[in-house]
Amino acid sequence: MKSDIKNRADIEKLVNVFYDKIKTDTEIGYFFSDVAKVDWEKHLPIMYNFWENILFSTGNFEGNPMLKHKELHQKSKLNPAHFLHWNVLFSDTVDELFAGDRATEIKLRAKNIAAVMMTKTLE
């Protein structure tokens, strides 16, 4: 039986497994590797903080994800299908690893964040 997301270690596991999928994804992986040229050693701890703050209200995230997505969109056009695909990968990863109230919550929060990012980025 899968456990729920309990702590930062679980967030790190989720983020690591998710981005391992992103790195090889044929639909959106190139945004990370070729367009943004993500430095994973720097990016992953930021994502740990982001999702830990989203789920546990730690206040340990600093950054402007909206600006980053707008900059990315200027370099290579994003479209609604990209955001949808990101969300499917994220939700599938949560479901593979966890089950419970927090797992459900993080999927809902991710879906809402993706919707706002899509709307604001594509304006």
Measured distance CA(8)–CA(14) in Å, rounded: 10
- For residue 83, being part of any structural domain is answered with yes
Q: What is the pLDDT of residue 122?
A: 86
**CATH of residue 58:** 1.10.490.10
pLDDT tens by residue, 96-106 = 999 999 999 99
- For residue 70, being part of any structural domain is answered with yes
- For residue 34, being part of any structural domain is answered with yes
Please state whether the predicted TM-score (pTM) of the whole model is above 0.85: yes
Q: Which residues of the chain have pLDDT under 70?
A: none
Residue 106, CB-side half-sphere exposure with 13 Å CA sphere: 29
- For residue 3, being part of any structural domain is answered with no
- For residue 35, being part of any structural domain is answered with yes
pLDDT tens by residue, 107-123 = 999 999 999 999 999 88
Domain count, the chain: 1
Residue 38: give the domain boundaries: 8-121
DSSP class of residue 79 equals -
- For residue 31, being part of any structural domain is answered with yes
DSSP class of residue 76 equals S
- For residue 1, being part of any structural domain is answered with no
